[in-house]
Amino acid sequence: MCGMSQPPNNRSSAKPPVRPDASMSLLTHVMDHSLDEGYAEAAARREAEGTSGLPRNLKAKLALAAGLVLAAMVVTLGAAQARIAAPVLAKEREELISRVERADDHADGVEKDIERLRDDVAGRQRAALKQHGGDQGELLALLSGATEVRGPGIKLTVDDAKGASTGNGNGPRESAGFSDTGRLRDRDMQRIVNGLWQAGAEAVAINGQRLTALSAIRAAGDAILVDNKPLVPPYEILAVGDKKRLNTEFQDSVDGQYLHVLQESYGIRYTLSAENEVRLPAASSLTVRTATATATAEDPKKGAS
């Protein structure tokens, strides 16, 4: 009787069972090794530092606190120094103010002395004029500008043209010839004053500057000078004399017509009016001179002072 053949034993050749997640090897690796080696080393190093020293955040806080303490010390020291220096600065300021006030008082005193001496000199000059002028001493004082003058006369106000050039591109004021700058020149002022003298003026002043026989009218750049003192337009010219005669004769004179031409051709502005009373100050500087006639061969004894 033939027995049935047994099936072959396949256990020895059977393959090991396959894991269900074998197809997800990357995910498995990430799950098994969730911490990178670099992170692991850093964590280990932090643990080592924590055991041997202070935590990093605590060190930062200590450094910040030290900085704040240092800043507070600097501010406190600065405030203390300012508090110490404040009285010194206040004292120096008071001393400086006191020095300025003393200097002002001294300047005021010197100015008063100058005025007093000026009045004294003017009085002596008038006395000298009267002494040497005899009966005509007052007239000499008047004509020389040594005394203040008041009386009837005329007032002539002259001004530059509207929008007159300041001389840019045309150069400074000219001493001769014409200019289209629209500004009054020193030569123009000379002709106006000479015209007033010729019309019968007994005394003349320009912007408060009394004219004498030695007065000079000249230019310095864009300014008109009278006895080296600059004038600013408008120019107020006062003349003492017969107001009707002065008014009429000046306008009819060559110099009056010259002023009219300046107005018509160059826009120079002027007004002329007769006044019942004008007041002219004495000349600020006056030189008194005496002359002596020399003896001649014909009359050796003749002489005058």
Cα 232 from chain centre: 19
Residue 73 in tokens? 């010390």
- Which of the 8 DSSP states describes residue 15? P
Flag whether pLDDT at 67 surpasses 50.
Answer: yes
pTM equals 0.52
- Which letter does DSSP use for residue 243 in this model? H
Residue range 61-85: average pLDDT? 81
Instruction: Give the mean model confidence (pLDDT) for residues 280-300.
Output: 67
Structure tokens at 145: 């500008």
Is 90 exceeded by the pLDDT of residue 19? no
**What is the reported pLDDT for 103?**
92
Alpha carbons 276 and 41: distance in angstroms, whole number: 115
Quick one: residue 151, left, alpha or beta (phi over 0 = left, psi -120 to 50 = alpha)?
left
Given this model, what pLDDT does residue 174 score?
45
Region 27-45 average pLDDT: 64
The per-residue pLDDT for 297 is 55
CATH number of 151-280: 3.30.70.1880
CA 87/CA 91 separation, integer angstroms: 6
User: Is the pLDDT confidence value at 31 over 50?
Assistant: yes
User: What would the pLDDT profile of 139-168 be if each residue is shown by its tens digit?
Assistant: 666 777 777 888 999 999 999 988 775 544
Distance of CA 221 to the CA centre of its chain: 20
Per-residue confidence (pLDDT) for residue 44, from 0 to 100:
72
87 pLDDT higher than 90: no
Residue 299 in 3-state DSSP? coil
The Cα 184–Cα 79 span in angstroms is: 64
Does the CA dihedral 222-227-229-232 come out positive or negative?
negative
Handedness of CA 192, 194, 196, 198 (dihedral sign): negative
Sorting pLDDT into bands at 50, 70 and 90, what band is 175? very low
d(CA 181, CA 266): 8
In the predicted structure, residue 1 carries a pLDDT above the cut 50: no
Would you state the structure tokens that stand for residue 293, as one six-digit string? 């006639």
**What is the spatial distance between Cα 157 and Cα 159, in angstroms, rounded to a whole number?**
7
- Residue 169 is classified by DSSP as T
**Count of other CB atoms within 10 angstroms of residue 167:** 15
Q: Which residue has the higher pLDDT, 173 or 195?
A: 195
β partners of residue 109: none
**SS3 of residue 152 by DSSP:** strand
Q: Is pLDDT above 60 for 13?
A: no
Confidence of residue 228 (pLDDT cuts 50, 70, 90): confident
DSSP string across 26-94: HHHHHHHT-S-HHHHHHHHHHHHHHHHS--HHHHHHHHHHHHHHHHHHHHHHHHHHHHHHHHHHHHHHH
DSSP 8-state class, residue 285: S
